[in-house]
A = this chain, B = another copy of it.
């Protein structure tokens, strides 16, 4: 995935080089590559191959990178550190960070539309999946409510709305896109959709726990920042033991869904377990 991103992102020397360097800096800064990995694993779990879905997997990663760049902006979470390095706006200026994010979002649609698809209808379907996961009824809805809720104590349902949209929608989208592109059957798509929604919510709960319990060196970003900012998190509303318990239950539910698949489910089992066991 890292090789694919390096090769397909515009070269840093191409004009305007500040823009292209900013796009490359934030995308190639590391990161767990969870969404592309899920897309590939979902394709393999319904009998497809990694080659079929590389463009879509890359699109998911650069779209995710755009959300991080914009989330870190001073007018949003105002974070200076990401993956142990200065955030995009600290390094390239706020204006270039907004535009680098915009450019990565736009390029994600270009990449997914360019996927080498066996059916002419497929790229359109993938574009729609990506737009719906990322848009005003997906990731962005969660981000808006998350910011609006800062400093006030939300109800459990409202917190769940935020976490489902902010995080789970794109993770669910990643497995759906891998499954659709690899020609998964409707029953497989349904099972993977439930798997994605469950591990997506578990992922954000684990993030909340890490933000409260890890240290800055391990995590690569400030610890305890959610609390300082008055963010609504599973830790704040439910406490750490209950949050861990909920994440575990979601992962176990997700793994049960994988019985319905025709291909190799093992990587999806491993990713689900990794999501709550990770330390970064």
Please give the residue numbers on chain A whose beta carbons come within 8 Å of chain B beta carbons, in ascending order. 10, 15-16, 18-20, 23, 66, 70, 73, 75-76, 93-96, 98-99, 101-103, 105-107, 109-110, 113-114, 119-121, 123-124, 127-128, 130-132, 134-137, 140-141, 143-145, 147-148, 161
Shortest distance from the beta carbon of A230 to any chain B beta carbon, whole Å: 15
Please, which residues of chain B bring their CB within 8 A of the CB of A127? Answer: 109-110, 113, 123-124, 127
**CB < 8 Å neighbour of A140 from B70, B99, B130:** B99
Please measure, in the bound complex, the distance between the C-alpha atom of A119 and the C-alpha atom of B107, giving whole angstroms: 24
Shortest distance from the beta carbon of A127 to any chain B beta carbon, whole Å: 4
Q: Binding site of A, secondary structure by majority: helix, strand, loop or mixed?
A: helix
Please, which residues of chain B bring their CB within 8 A of the CB of A70? Answer: 98-99, 102
Please measure, in the bound complex, the distance between the C-alpha atom of A111 and the C-alpha atom of B37, giving whole angstroms: 28
Please measure, in the bound complex, the distance between the C-alpha atom of A94 and the C-alpha atom of B10, giving whole angstroms: 29
Please measure, in the bound complex, the distance between the C-alpha atom of A95 and the C-alpha atom of B77, giving whole angstroms: 9
Shortest distance from the beta carbon of A181 to any chain B beta carbon, whole Å: 13
Please, which residues of chain B bring their CB within 8 A of the CB of A16? Answer: 141, 144-145, 148
